Amino acid sequence: MPSPLYPSPSSYPPSLTKIFGVAQIVIHVIYHIFFIILRIPGLVSLSILVALYKTAERKFSDKFFLAQEGHVWLPAFPSSWRFLLLLLVIVPIFAFIQVLRLLVGRFSLPLLIDRWIKTFGTRNLSHHGYVMFQQDGRGRDRRESSNATDEENPLVDGAEEYGERSFSRPTSPTARLARHLKARRIQLLAYVILFCVSTWVGVHYEQSGDVRYRNAIQAAVARPRRQGYGKQGELFEPVKSNATYIGSEKIFIAAMFYNNEQVIPYWHDSLIKVIHYLGPDNVFVSIVESHSTDGSPRLLHALDVDLARMDVPRRILTEDKAVTKPDDMSGNNRIEFLAATRNRAMEPLREGGYDRVVFSNDIYIEPESIVELLETNNGDYDMACGLDFGHFGAYDMWVLRDRQAKLASGIWPYFFDEADYHAMQSDSPVPVFTCWNGIVAFTADPLLPIALRSNRILSNNSLPYDLPSTHPAAHNPFMRGPNPALTPPIQFRASAPGECFSSESFLLPYDMRRQFNLQQIYVNPRVINGYDWRFYVYFKWLMRHPVLRWWIEKVYNGAWMARAVMVVGDPERVSRWDGGDCHPWWF
């Protein structure tokens, strides 16, 4: 008699019975196709890997390249770089998931099922009309069916006997698992190794050369002393061949800020650590903040308190109105305002007593990077610059020129001159025509009054060339001297009539070259800095990961897009002047 819960198919109308039959066939086919697909080797693993990559790519774009308007700005660098970077992130996660799948799905679950069966047995479902295998008292399987007639039972028994003679069925999942246990163990071991190796590679993301001064700085912070721990606190002999001075090197640290409450705490921390390394007796800190509408003045007051506690000589001006901000901050108005503000920060320098200047923009930077900047080319430089980064790669392309004064690229290797390219390959200081790029260190003499100069760097011989006609000093005798040592001090300025429209940051190294014949200007590729935290993280640690650097520098090797210059303005209007390639800007 049919169970009331499961009516006999004969009780349904013929049309409905047919529909049910077709539906059962369709479900049966879909079921088998689904499990056939799932049994394709590696399909589930590949699906997990693809899902992880797509998720990471979406999160990555939202984190680093989502503009304020909600639009995703595609990065300028090649997609293969991002692909490899995302693999570094997702491979450890993928390996961990695979280990869990194997432990739970391939080992633990079958054992739990087997334990369940042994403990609770199987439920007799014969009253529902299903054929079951059960064990009789003699330990053999017997087929039972509530729907089988007496005439059918001998057939069933005969089939039972034939089945016992022809084949045997495993009685537990562990028996079925035994055939593949060795392969599963090897697979598990492989994923465990992959997880360990990929995790180790992922966490070792820093270049050893980028952090070579970190331990010394940490030691200086732990045991501070007035004279510091660098060469600034010891007797040193300048590398210049014509130098005769031996003494302690004094560093003038300058910066200016405007609406930088996000940056200042990080910069504050880096500065304090650097001063511990250099020694409070060997530095002067000069900061100008003006026209901010956020918490920048308050944060700089906190810095002032910390510097006072360390007894560091300083001048920190907040809410300074000495330089009037023009209503129209475009063109030369903006450059003149920035030049005047930078000169305001440099005022204490003109009292003399300093050998080098470190001038920092409003950037994120590590303390070891600042020391690295000071030690560029073993201290043998006239100006050394960092590399600042933004959304499209290298940021301040308006200032940066290669050794031949040509425009640069926004992505590695940045420069097209052969010497510059090889220097980038070896992570060495790159000779350039001009730079600034977030932070610079330069000799102080060209900005000091003649009487206060050290007479160690500037030559007593006349310039070996005539000043270009476009340079303002060519027409102003008060800006010239008989030789570099007796040339009046320079300062930040805006472009003069006839010059390429340039920033005050470009014109300072340009004037150092033209008026003082100071030709040793370098970019230090290890001194990474940025104005936005997300791009700083991206280019400081992610893009400099050893695996990614190997791909970029050894495999990709400056191909395709890296050979395209970044032009500020219309590329068709790039011109050439004494200062090299001239960006057309908006003109």
Please write the tens of the pLDDT for every residue from 249-269.
Answer: 999 999 999 999 999 999 999
Rg of the chain over CA atoms, in angstroms? 37
Query: Do both 228 and 87 map to the same domain?
Result: no
pLDDT score at 18: 73
Reported as a single tens digit per residue, the pLDDT across 46-59 is 999 999 999 999 88
Question: Does the residue 502 lie in any domain?
Answer: yes
pLDDT score at 61: 83
Question: Does the residue 3 lie in any domain?
Answer: no
Backbone angles phi, psi at 227, to 5 degrees: -85, -5
Domain boundary among 182, 203, 224: 203
CB atoms within 10 A of CB 320: 17
Cβ neighbors of 400 (< 8 A, separation 6 or more) are 394, 408, 414, 432, 434, 435, 436, 437, 523
Question: Does the residue 27 lie in any domain?
Answer: no
Reported as a single tens digit per residue, the pLDDT across 4-34 is 544 555 566 777 777 777 788 888 778 777 7
Q: What would the two tokens of residue 337 be?
A: 């305002």
pLDDT score at 442: 98
Query: Do both 394 and 497 map to the same domain?
Result: yes
Backbone angles phi, psi at 47, to 5 degrees: -65, -40
Reported as a single tens digit per residue, the pLDDT across 283-337 is 999 999 999 999 999 999 999 999 999 999 999 999 999 999 999 988 889 999 9
Question: Does the residue 523 lie in any domain?
Answer: yes
pLDDT score at 6: 47
Chunk the chain into consecutive blocks of 10 residues (it has 587) and report each block's average pLDDT, rounded to whole numbers: 51 70 80 72 87 92 70 70 92 95 72 66 45 44 43 43 47 55 84 96 91 96 93 51 55 98 98 97 98 97 98 98 92 95 98 96 98 96 97 91 92 89 93 97 98 92 94 94 97 94 97 97 98 94 93 80 72 87 75
Query: Do both 404 and 425 map to the same domain?
Result: yes
Q: What is the DSSP string of 20-86?
A: HHHHHHHHHHHHHHHHHHHTSTTHHHHHHHHHHHHHHHHHHHHHHSB-TTSPBPPPSS-HHHHHHHH
DSSP character at residue 245? -
pLDDT score at 335: 96
Question: Does the residue 9 lie in any domain?
Answer: no
Query: Do both 472 and 417 map to the same domain?
Result: yes
Helix axes 43-64, 14-38, angle to 10 degrees: 80
Question: Does the residue 33 lie in any domain?
Answer: no
Query: Do both 50 and 83 map to the same domain?
Result: yes
Q: Which of 538, 346, 359, 348 is nearest to 436 (CA)?
A: 359
Question: Does the residue 166 lie in any domain?
Answer: yes
| Full residue range of the structural domain in which residue 463 is found | 209-582
Query: Do both 301 and 440 map to the same domain?
Result: yes
Contact present, 526 and 207 (Cβ < 8 Å): yes
Tell me the C-alpha distance between 534 and 65, whole Å. 9
Query: Do both 284 and 308 map to the same domain?
Result: yes
Query: Do both 196 and 215 map to the same domain?
Result: no
pLDDT score at 161: 45
CB atoms within 10 A of CB 50: 11
Cα 113 to Cα 77, 104, 108, 471, distances in angstroms? 52, 12, 9, 87
Question: Does the residue 35 lie in any domain?
Answer: no
